[in-house]
């Protein structure tokens, strides 16, 4: 076949490959390289002194904290939502599916504004929170809430199609063999979706660390307190501290690359299971 | 004799449509009972009601003398085998079979060595010795279904419930497994219900057959009774590849198009339905004795030959089974006689 029908298209094939590769280089590889070269422009020492700044460390810590709260919570939410949707019939199911997709379809800035309107000083619940002396907006809880909202669909979306395809026979088999509901969930449902769940967690984590829009609205950009890494990059950049900005940016990019690497490794080792997820 | 399973006035409906309507059935201990019917006739729903995987809208299910209606799935101790095996893909064959024993609370769980021994014995029983370390995906469909049966048997179930167990397998494997299942049943003696839409499978394998139609049971009986004395029009039409012919009956005679035939059941009169199966027809010894039927088509089916016959214009064609050496061809006129008359008044 290689010498047959497709041989005539050899020139066309090379042109298409060249187009795709140059597109990749221009729009993905070069910007990524630029981030690292900018960060190292003044030498390795300058790169590391950028991390001497306590505000930078505060931003890194806050980013890790937010991800450490948002990702496990969304794992629980996503798993329960996917389980309910895939294994049971109930009224309002399609509404729930639409709601899960909501954070994907609206702009992150709008999601941030929603929280300001809800929890802000002049917001719906503002006076109540004021009485309790609890700050959500321009404080860490707001950043966490906004991140949870924006990253909510990642895990659920990953699990729903797989769980739907697997159906309920495996669970029913476990029940007839005497397993309790909880045993069934732990020994049958969870292992059946474990790779898809890990994949969803990776994507969710990448987005939780990188989220800018929604977090920007609710954080108030207080240095050392409510700045996450993406927000800190913007502040440094606006102050013309290019090395600092790109140093933090390179750290973010590094995290993204690690996530991508882990994702590719998963796809390579468990391609069949994940392919089933992504057929949709 | 005691009764193993009894359904009393069992009903179940799904969002407005009834799946099972006021169903009564008694299953004898150690019996192999087939639930036969077209798809959507309620046979699988009934099986799931017995297992406790569905809750009935009304009615009762008894296991022996015990009312099992409100028992949970786990407490019913049934062995359930699914059409698509439902093996746990992340566990080995041995772990799959041991699953039901391992999930028991610690004080009811057999020691690990006993479990291992049990798994070995069951693998021997289902003729898969030495395959305990394989994963389900490394087995063929027929092997997977054997593992599923071994897994169901491991928990020593009170009844064995099989939902279209051979439905996903090809014809050859189906036939082998059918014989094998009968052997296992004869050896272990479990009361067994199995759902099928394949009448050949039901009639060959089962002690008794319950024929389902639209959520009710039309007839329960031995394969002989179902085949030779169908109780209702539905059963007569559903089993044995019967063709339904509209006739007029009066005083022991029926009028089939231009032909007149004698019938033993002279209680039927007026418009009626005559059910004709391929084996009911035979070539007449004397050409003048039979109905002269026109051959519409001839086919070879396995060891025999089948001819499609038009008994009269405007009637559905019927089939006749002929020896291979019998040479007829399309367009011939063939004199045939009808050995069995299965007649039901038109409703």
Q: How far is A203 from chain B (nearest CA, A)?
A: 24
Instruction: Answer whether B28's CB lies under 8 Å from B4's CB.
Output: yes
Question: In this complex, do A178 and B78 lie within 8 Å of one another by their Cβ atoms?
Answer: no
Mutate to test the interface with B, among A87, A177, A182 (most CBs of B within 10 A): A177
Q: Minimal CA–CA distance to B287: which of B223, B344, B337? A: B337
DSSP B174: H
- B152 CB neighbours in chain A (<8 A) are 176-177
CB of B104 less than 8 A from some CB of A: yes
- Flag whether residue A165 sits within 8 Å of chain B, measured between CB atoms: no
- Residue B117, both tokens: 């021994």
Contacts of A154 (CB under 8 A, 6+ apart): A74, A78, A200, A203, A204, A207
Give me the DSSP letters along B83-132: TT----TTS-HHHHHHHHHHTS-GGGSPPHHHHHHHHHHHHHHTT-TT-T
Beta strands in chain B (DSSP E): 5-14, 17-27, 32-36, 58-63, 66-67, 78-81, 159-163, 191-196, 208-213, 216-221, 243-250, 253-256, 259-262, 270-276, 281-283, 291-301, 304-310, 318-322, 333-338, 342-345
Q: A188 contacts in B (CB within 8 Å)?
A: 88
Q: Tell me the ipTM for this assembly.
A: 0.85
- Tokens standing for residue A69: 């709260």
CA distance B83 to B64: 27
What are the pLDDT digits (tens) for B221-267? Answer: 999 999 988 999 999 989 888 888 888 888 778 888 788 888 777 77
Burial B213-238 (b: 16+ CB within 10 A, else e): bebbbbbbbebeebbeebeebbbbbb
Return averaged pLDDT per consecutive 10 residues of chain B, 347 residues in all: 87 86 94 93 94 93 92 93 93 95 93 94 92 93 93 93 89 88 91 92 94 94 92 90 86 81 77 87 80 87 86 85 83 85 80
Cα pseudo-dihedral A94, A95, A101, A103, rounded to 10: -170
3-state secondary structure of B238: helix
pLDDT of residue A124: 79
pTM across the whole model? 0.81
Contact of B112 with chain A, judged by CB distance below 8 Å, is answered with: no
Distances (CA, A) of B233 to B21, B238, B275, B276: 19, 8, 8, 12
For residue B47, the model assigns a pLDDT of 95
What residue of B is the nearest CA neighbor of A177? B100
| DSSP three-state, residue B35 | strand
Residue A197 in this model has a pLDDT that exceeds 50: yes
Q: Tokens 């071994």 identify what position?
A: B150
Comparing CA positions, the residue from B174, B193, B90, B69 lying closest to residue B136 is B90
Residue A279's pLDDT band (cuts 50, 70, 90): very low
pLDDT in tens, B291-302: 888 898 888 888
Closest Cα in chain B, distance from residue A279 (Å): 20
- Separation in Å, CA A210 to CA A72, A124, A252: 17, 29, 7
A55, A84, B9, B75, B83 from B51: Cα distances, Å = 63, 23, 17, 10, 15
Tokens describing residue A265: 């490794």
Per-residue model confidence as pLDDT tens digits over A53-78: 888 899 999 999 999 999 999 999 99
Q: Which residues of B touch A87 (CB under 8 A)?
A: none
CA B273/CA B259 separation, integer angstroms: 15
């Amino acid at each position: 076949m290689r010498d047959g029908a497709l041989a005539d298209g050899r020139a066309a094939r090379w042109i298409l490959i060249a187009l795709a590769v140059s597109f990749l280089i221009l729009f993905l590889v070069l910007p990524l390289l630029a981030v690292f070269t900018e960060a190292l422009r003044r030498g390795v020492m300058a790169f590391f002194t950028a991390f001497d700044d306590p505000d930078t460390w505060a931003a890194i810590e806050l980013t890790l904290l937010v991800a450490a709260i948002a990702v496990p919570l969304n794992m629980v939410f996503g798993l329960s939502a996917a389980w309910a949707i895939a294994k049971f019939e109930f009224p309002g199911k399609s509404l729930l599916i639409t709601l899960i997709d909501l954070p994907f379809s609206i702009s992150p800035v709008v999601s941030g504004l929603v929280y300001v309107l809800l929890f802000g000083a002049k917001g719906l619940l503002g006076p109540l929170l004021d009485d309790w002396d609890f700050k959500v907006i321009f404080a860490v809880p707001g950043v966490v809430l906004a991140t949870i909202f924006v990253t909510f669909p990642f895990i659920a979306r990953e699990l729903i199609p797989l769980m739907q395809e697997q159906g309920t026979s495996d669970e029913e088999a476990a029940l007839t063999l005497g397993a309790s509901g909880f045993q069934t969930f732990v020994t049958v449902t969870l292992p059946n979706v474990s790779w898809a769940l890990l994949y969803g967690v990776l994507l969710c984590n990448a987005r939780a660390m990188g989220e800018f829009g929604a977090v920007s609205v609710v954080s108030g950009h207080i240095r050392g307190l409510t700045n996450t890494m993406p927000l800190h990059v913007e502040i440094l950049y606006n102050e013309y501290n290019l090395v600092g900005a790109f140093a933090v940016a390179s750290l973010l990019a590094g995290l993204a690359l690690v996530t991508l690497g882990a994702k590719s490794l998963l796809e390579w080792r468990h391609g069949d299971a994940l392919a089933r997820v992504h057929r949709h | 004799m005691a009764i193993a399973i009894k359904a009393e006035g069992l009903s179940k409906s799904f969002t407005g449509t009834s799946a099972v309507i006021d169903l009564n059935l008694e299953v004898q201990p150690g019996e192999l009972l087939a639930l036969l019917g077209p798809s959507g006739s309620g046979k699988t729903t009934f099986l799931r009601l017995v297992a406790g995987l569905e809750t009935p809208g009304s009615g009762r299910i008894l296991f022996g003398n015990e009312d099992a209606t409100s028992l949970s799935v786990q407490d019913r101790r049934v062995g359930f085998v699914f059409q698509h095996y439902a093996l746990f893909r992340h566990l080995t064959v041995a772990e799959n079979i041991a699953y039901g024993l391992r999930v028991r609370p610690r004080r009811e769980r057999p020691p690990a060595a006993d479990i291992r021994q049990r798994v070995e014995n069951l693998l021997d029983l289902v003729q898969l010795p030495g395959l305990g370390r394989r994963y389900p995906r490394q087995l063929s469909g027929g092997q997977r279904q054997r593992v599923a049966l071994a897994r169901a048997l491991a928990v020593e179930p009170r009844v064995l419930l099989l939902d279209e167990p051979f439905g996903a397998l090809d014809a050859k494997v189906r036939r082998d497994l059918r014989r094998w299942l009968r052997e296992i049943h004869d050896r272990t003696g479990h009361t067994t219900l199995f759902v099928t839409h394949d009448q050949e499978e039901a009639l060959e394998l089962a002690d008794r057959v319950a024929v389902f139609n639209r959520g009710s049971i039309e007839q329960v009986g031995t394969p002989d009774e179902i085949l030779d004395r169908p109780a209702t029009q539905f059963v007569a039409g559903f089993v044995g590849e019967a063709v339904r012919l509209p006739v007029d009956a009066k005083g022991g005679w029926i009028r089939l198009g231009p032909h007149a035939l004698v019938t033993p059941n002279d209680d039927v009169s007026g418009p009626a339905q005559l059910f004709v199966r391929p084996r009911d027809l035979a070539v007449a010894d004397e050409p003048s004795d039979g109905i002269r039927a026109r051959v519409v088509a001839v086919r070879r089916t396995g060891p025999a030959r089948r001819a499609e016959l038009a008994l009269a214009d405007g009637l559905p064609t019927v089939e006749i089974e002929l020896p291979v050496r019998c040479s007829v061809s399309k367009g011939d006129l063939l004199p045939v006689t009808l050995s069995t008359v299965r007649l039901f008044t038109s409703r």
